[in-house]
Chain A
Amino acid sequence: MAQNFTTLPDHPETATLEGKNKVLAFWLFLGGEVVLFGSLFATFIALRTSYAGGPTGAELFDLGLVAVATLLLLTSSLTSVFGVMALHRHDVAGMQKWFGITVALGVAFLGLEIYEFLHYYHMGHTMSSSAFGSAFYTLVGFHGGHVLAGVTWIALLQIQLAKKGLTVVTAPKFYLAALYWHFVDLVWVFIFTVVYLMGKVG
């Protein structure tokens, strides 16, 4: 371990050409993700008042629940930054701790979202109840799918880290997963603004 500590370069995530290429390619992928979510947001904004006699956003949404979900995701973004800082210190135990907390917060967010969707389902707000319903579940569900993917990804990386240790091969993976996680949080900022808060305003 002590050996590893001294031989690992300062920024292990971009120490190799492969690592550098991964970071660049991942940013281009995130550019594509912006387009994906842009299209989903455009669809949602266009259809967000097409209730077709079903429940409206103002009737459905509970701002307290949304505030808790926002706090969970925002905090998990901060803990993943701490995870990357531990990576830069070559501190494997710190990485496991901070990325572990990130995964736990992400799972809590998902649990809250599943509860929320079930609640809406019982209120008659479904994928097929109105154009608003379809657009809502597609946009928010797509984001939830990203949270699920991020949680799974980081958890698998943690198993790999325990097995292989921190190297120039495992470091870029954590850096990318943290970037992805921040992006998922960034999308949520616009979801709580456009879907929930604008839904309350009407």
Chain B
Amino acid sequence: MGQQVNTNETQPKFKKHESPKRHLVAFVVSIILTALAFLAVIVGGTSGYVIPFIIVLGIIQAGFQLYIWMHMDQKGHELPELGIYTGLLVAIITIIAFVYWLGGY
């Protein structure tokens, strides 16, 4: 009996941090997004809409990774956000500049 009361007390303490359900949902969503991207390529063929569509799917999936699995949605992650977005800014400028001048897309 005493044992039971004890577990009831400690369980919510851990639940407060994170529950496996959240991560499983993120996993299932990632699988669905991946499957959609593969399907789009198989079904869409060489249509001009396929590439922008799969890139958007990739960006959404990256967001799930960053905010749920890497805990960027939790408090106290302002500096990590600053670090990642500064990195992304430089990366995106580089990609746009390369694609604009050298082509490939």
Give the Cβ gap from B23 to chain A, nearest Cβ, in Å: 5
In the bound complex, how far is the Cα of B20 from the Cα of A142, in angstroms? 32
In the bound complex, how far is the Cα of B55 from the Cα of A194, in angstroms? 8
Partner of A202 from B17, B46, B69, B92 at Cβ < 8 Å: B46
Check if A179 is an interface residue, CB within 8 A of chain B: yes
Contact in complex: B70, A182 (CB < 8 Å): yes
Q: Which residues of B contact A194 (CB under 8 A)?
A: 55, 58
Contact in complex: B38, A34 (CB < 8 Å): no
Contact in complex: B54, A38 (CB < 8 Å): no
Contact in complex: B104, A38 (CB < 8 Å): no
Q: Please choose the segment from A44-52, A112-120, A121-129, A155-163 that sits at the chain B interface, where 4 or more of its residues have CB less than 8 A away.
A: A44-52
Give the Cβ gap from A65 to chain B, nearest Cβ, in Å: 12
Number of interface residues of B (CB under 8 A): 50
Contact in complex: B80, A27 (CB < 8 Å): yes
Known interface pairs A28-B83, A190-B62, A202-B46; A88-B95 also in contact (CB < 8 Å): no
Query: Which A residues are closer than 8 A to B by beta carbons?
Result: 10-11, 23-24, 27-28, 30-35, 37-39, 41-43, 45-49, 63, 67, 70-71, 74-75, 77-78, 81-82, 85, 88-89, 179, 182-183, 185-186, 189-190, 192-194, 197-198, 200-202
**Closest A-B pairs by Cβ, 4 of them:** A38-B91, A34-B87, A31-B87, A31-B83
23 CB contacts below 8 A, A to B, read A10-B13, A27-B80, A27-B83, A28-B83, A30-B83, A34-B91, A35-B90, A35-B94, A38-B91, A38-B92, A41-B91, A42-B99, A46-B98, A48-B104, A78-B24, A78-B27, A78-B69, A81-B69, A82-B20, A194-B58, A197-B37, A197-B40, A197-B54
